[in-house]
């Protein structure tokens, strides 16, 4: 299949579909027409897009955790705890690592081992192995909409089974579920895989079934400048809409500086709508999701709650439609369901307290918004230029040229030349621009902010600042100051 942003033709989709549904035995249980009828029978309260639209209209910020275990009964018990004890507005089904790599035989072994030992031996729910009926059992067991969360470069079979299984939201994208997660998978291949996923959701949409799509905003979750994550989010949004998706939640991962994070949340939907209109795509419903701090956490639970609450405050003040909640066990490994529920309750307390408050438009906030808009537009315009108007082709070429460059990513298809660091207020800036296509005005802004930090700390800006910043929050700070 030739790489292009254009909608996948029906013949190519059906050719792939035959192959995809044959990848594991549960694929035979997928029946598109029957799945459409099933979705049309769902109450409005179980449909992600409907609830998101309501939240957007009313200015509500919803809370959603991450969670998933190997066995069906235990997974349902976990989700019900997060719903009943945590008060989650949306629920996840986080997929295990074997399924993310399409290693279904090993996932099956993990299921069997979990049954034998009596506890989950997988770090998520192996939805492909469990199949359509089990997914419906999960979705029907709770009162709120359920989303598939994973990290899968090739999620075609996972999408077929979980959407037929009654989940009404599917996370990920051809860039965001490749570059931060994989070493040797090409961007061209994952864009094509995800065009299949988006076309599948487009086909459901054409039948009157709303499935929300959520590109993964935080990327590597480590000092990712807003312009980089925004550019990826807008590209993945355009690629989805081109295949017929009409409900999108675009994501952003907390950097830690309140002004910068609120500016990022304000500008993300503006940029998405701007470029979709510019390229002539139909209007989609666009909402936002804010991810609480994705980097290292303090091991002390009280301090971890401090980090969680700061993320909740930022989501509320930035008017995100949804916030993805962390747990007080973040530094220790997979949390207990009780700890997970506690993270949701702490988040919802802050969201409730701040729901009627906004951050006033100050000179600094206006400047941050201006810089994020300018930087992101510079990247997106160069992507379109490289692709001669085709954003799929342009994306592959942009990664090759380092025009898009995700910091600290494992992928060999990512240049890895940029180096971010915090300025003296904790906002993420560029220490090394790599091949980003920024003009001198933008570069001077970053250089001066980094230089000011150097003056404040009595040291020359260097890679040591980056190292200090990566470990800072785990040590109780935002900016990695020398001791």
> Known binder of ligand: residue 305?
no
Name the pLDDT band for 5 (thresholds 50, 70, 90).
very high
Burial of 374 (0-12, 13-18, 19+ CB in 10 A): middle
| Residue 119 annotated in active site | no
pLDDT tens digits for range 144-198: 999 999 999 999 999 999 999 999 999 999 999 999 999 999 999 999 999 999 9
Q: For position 483, what pLDDT does the model report?
A: 79
Average pLDDT over residues 237-243: 98
Please give the pLDDT value at position 99.
Answer: 98
Within 8 A by CB and 6+ apart from 323, the residues are: 61, 62, 63, 64, 289, 290, 291, 292, 311, 312, 315, 347, 351
- CA dist., res. 131 & res. 133, Å (int): 6
d(CA 149, CA 96): 10
Q: Was 192 annotated as part of a binding site?
A: no
- Strand partners for 214: 171
Strands 169-171 and 212-214: parallel
Q: What is the mean pLDDT of residues 343-357?
A: 98
Domains of the chain listed by start with CATH number: 10-354 (3.20.20.240), 417-482 (3.90.970.10)
Across the chain, mean pLDDT equals 97
Instruction: Pick the catalytic residue from 17, 156, 160, 171.
Output: 171
Q: Name, in order, each residue with C-beta under 8 angstroms of 208's C-beta and a sequence gap of 6 or more.
A: 36, 40
Residue 43 labelled as part of a binding site: no
150 is in an annotated binding site: yes
Structure tokens at 6: 């254009």
Average pLDDT rounded to a whole number, residues 116-133:
97
Q: Which of 213, 188, 217, 182 is nearest to 199 (CA)?
A: 213
pLDDT (tens digit per residue) in 393-417: 999 999 999 999 999 999 999 999 9
pLDDT given for residue 31 in this prediction: 98
Residue 334: pLDDT band with limits 50, 70, 90: confident
Q: Point out which residues pair with 248 in neighbouring strands.
A: 213, 286
> Where are the strands (E) in 202-339, listed by range?
212-214, 247-253, 285-291, 322-324
User: Is the confidence at residue 333, as pLDDT, over 90?
Assistant: no
Q: Is 126 annotated as a binding residue?
A: no
Is position 455 annotated as part of the catalytic site? no
CA distance 33 to 197: 17
The whole-angstrom separation of Cα 328 and Cα 56 is: 28
Please tell me the distance from the alpha carbon of residue 20 to that of residue 12, in angstroms, as a whole number: 12
Q: How many CB atoms lie within 10 A of CB 206?
A: 11
How many CB atoms neighbour CB 438 within 10 A? Answer: 20
> pLDDT of 102-122, one tens digit each?
999 999 999 999 999 999 999
Dihedral sign (CA 3, 17, 208, 125): negative
Tell me the DSSP string of 104-138.
HHHHHHHHHHHHHHTS--SSS--HHHHHHHHHHHH
* Mean pLDDT confidence for 431-442: 98
- Residues 7-57 have pLDDT tens digits of 999 999 999 999 999 999 999 999 999 999 999 999 999 999 999 999 999
**Is 471 labelled as part of a ligand binding site?**
no
Predicted local confidence at residue 86, as pLDDT: 98
């Amino acid at each position: 299949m030739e790489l292009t942003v254009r909608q996948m033709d029906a013949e190519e989709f059906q050719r792939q579909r035959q192959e995809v549904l044959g990848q594991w035995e549960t694929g035979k249980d997928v029946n598109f027409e029957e799945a459409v009828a099933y979705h049309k029978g769902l109450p409005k309260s179980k449909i992600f897009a409907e609830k998101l639209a309501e939240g957007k209209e009313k200015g509500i910020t919803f809370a959603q955790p991450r969670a998933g275990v190997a066995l069906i009964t235990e997974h349902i018990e976990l989700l019900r705890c997060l719903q009943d004890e945590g008060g989650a507005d949306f629920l996840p089904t986080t997929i295990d690592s074997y399924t993310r790599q399409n290693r279904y035989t090993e996932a099956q072994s993990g299921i069997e081992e979990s049954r034998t030992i009596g506890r989950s031996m997988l770090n998520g729910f192996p939805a492909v192995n469990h199949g359509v009926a089990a997914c419906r059992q999960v979705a029907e067991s709770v009162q709120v909409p359920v989303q598939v969360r994973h990290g899968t470069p090739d999620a075609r079979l996972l999408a077929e089974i979980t959407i037929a299984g009654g989940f009404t939201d599917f996370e990920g994208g051809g860039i965001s579920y490749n570059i931060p997660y994989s070493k040797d998978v090409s961007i061209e291949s994952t864009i094509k895989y995800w065009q299949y996923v988006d076309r599948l959701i487009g086909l459901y949409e054409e039948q009157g079934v709303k499935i929300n799509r959520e590109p993964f905003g935080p990327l590597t979750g480590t000092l990712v400048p807003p312009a980089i994550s925004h550019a990826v989010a807008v590209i993945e949004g355009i690629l989805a809409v081109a295949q017929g998706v009409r409900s999108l939640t675009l994501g952003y991962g907390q950097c830690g500086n309140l002004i910068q994070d609120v500016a990022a949340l304000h500008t993300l939907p503006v940029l998405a709508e701007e470029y979709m209109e510019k390229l002539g795509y139909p209007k989609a419903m666009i909402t936002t999701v804010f991810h609480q701090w994705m980097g290292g956490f303090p091991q002390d639970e009280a301090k971890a709650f401090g980090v969680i609450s700061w993320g909740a405050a930022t989501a509320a003040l930035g008017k995100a439609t949804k916030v993805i909640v962390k747990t007080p066990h973040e530094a220790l490994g997979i949390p207990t369901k009780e700890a997970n529920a506690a993270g949701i309750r702490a988040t919802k307390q802050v969201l409730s307290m701040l729901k009627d408050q906004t951050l006033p438009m100050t000179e600094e906030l206006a400047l941050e918004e201006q810089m994020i808009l300018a930087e992101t537009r510079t990247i997106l315009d160069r992507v379109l230029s490289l692709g001669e108007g085709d954003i799929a082709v342009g994306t592959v070429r942009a990664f090759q040229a380092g025009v898009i460059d995700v910091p600290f990513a494992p992928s060999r298809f990512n240049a890895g030349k940029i180096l971010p660091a915090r300025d003296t207020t904790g906002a993420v800036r560029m220490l090394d621009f790599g091949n980003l296509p920024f003009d001198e005005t933008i570069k001077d802004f970053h250089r001066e902010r980094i230089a000011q930090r150097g003056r404040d700390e009595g040291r020359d800006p260097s890679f040591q600042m980056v190292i200090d910043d990566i470990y800072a929050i785990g040590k109780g700070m935002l900016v990695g100051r020398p001791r």
